[in-house]
Structure 1
Amino acid sequence: MPAKKDKGLVEGTIIWFEYFEQNKAFFSPLFSSNGTITFRNRFLDFVIEEIEEKVDLRNGKNKGISEEVFFRFLGMENVRVMELYTLDATPESTDSIAEQVSILLERNL
């Protein structure tokens, strides 16, 4: 089995959503408690690191866009969708939402 970092964007996104699905009881309070900001910021840092491994802003359609803006934008959107999903604020299945997030990421990469 390839290492997680060697998996494609779709596979990696599905892994994230499946992990959060399996651990909803743990993550739900983190998104809805006083510690939300701390957890969200740490999770955002993790998501940004994961995206940075897969993106080269020196070439392609995102050439010239500020790294800070680009990675924060994509990272924050990912974190927010995961938050809504974890708090059952969306009726989407794990596979459906992971696939849709992957498609949106690929469109922007």
Structure 2
Amino acid sequence: MPKVDRRILKTQEALKKAVIELMYEKNFDDITIQDISDRANVSRGTIYLHYMDKYDLLDKLIENHIHELRNICVSTADMDFINGTLVCTEYLEHNYSFFSMMLASKGAPYFRNRFLDFLIEEFRNEIDVTKGKNQGLDEDVIVRFVASSYVGVVEWWCKNDKPIPHHVLAEQLGILLERNL
């Protein structure tokens, strides 16, 4: 894989930061390329060198976070739910401005669905309906229940400005996952 120029990475990070900051101020549909350009201190042409439009920029930003969460799930596959969830909530804490914007506002409504789809995919591997407490239950119902609950709790955490520390959130989510999966 070729090495990416640090200037390109710096520009892309400035653009991603700019769009998140602007979404705190106004609806995504009202944000213009010029707004992003001004906030990131780059020319409009520079934006188009990296992204097709503002929707492509937002999509790449979302995809990057989903990719990082997927990597976290892979790296924590051998951990119990509490410790694995701790790594995930540390990521949420570190990227709080993004997640709070995406989940606590109407700025990018389709992020919630992308996040939910990602969790459904991840939790599907954890379900066993052939034995134990989930025996005889429909796998899709269980997976959607757990994933929707997880998204709902993270959404609550973001909307309420982190009412509990991320490690407490991780512990409680981990316990709930152990009970339901």
Q: Which band: TM-score by shorter chain?
A: 0.7 to 0.9
**Which of 84, 98, 102 is the matching residue for 2:174?**
102
Cross-structure match for 1:42: 114
Q: Does 1:5 align with 2:77?
A: yes
Query: Equivalent residue of 1:71, what SS?
Result: helix
* Cα drift, residue 90 of structure 1: 5.1
Count of residues in Structure 1 that have an aligned counterpart in Structure 2: 107
**What SS does the corresponding residue of 1:96 show, helix, strand or coil?**
helix
What is the SS of the residue equivalent to 2:77? helix
- How far apart, CA to CA, are the structure 2 residues paired with 1:89 and 1:27? 11
- Amino acid in structure 1 at the alignment position of 2:87: I
69, 72, 76: which is aligned to 2:148?
A: 76
- Residues 79 and 29 of structure 1, relative CA distance in 2, 3 Å threshold: same
Worse-superposed segment, 82-91 or 18-27: 82-91
**1:70-93 residue CA offsets vs partner (Å, 9 max, x unmatched):** 110110000010111123355211
Q: Select 1:67's aligned residue among 139, 147, 158.
A: 139
1:33 paired to 2:139: no
Whether the 8 Å contact between 1:20 and 1:86 is mirrored in structure 2 is: no
More relative contact order in 1 or in 2 (CA 8 Å, sep 6+)? Answer: 1
Give the deviation of 1:108 after TM superposition.
1.5
Larger radius of gyration between Structure 1 and Structure 2: 2
Runs of 4+ in 1 over 4 A off after TM superposition: none
Would you say the 8 A contact 1:27–1:86 is kept in 2?
Answer: yes
Structure 1, unmatched stretches of 5+, are none
Gapped runs of 5+ residues in structure 2?
1-73
Give, in whole Å, the separation in 2 of the partners of 1:90 and 1:15. 16
Q: What's the offset of the Cα at 1:46?
A: 1.2
Identity %: 42
TM-score scaled by length of structure 2: 0.55
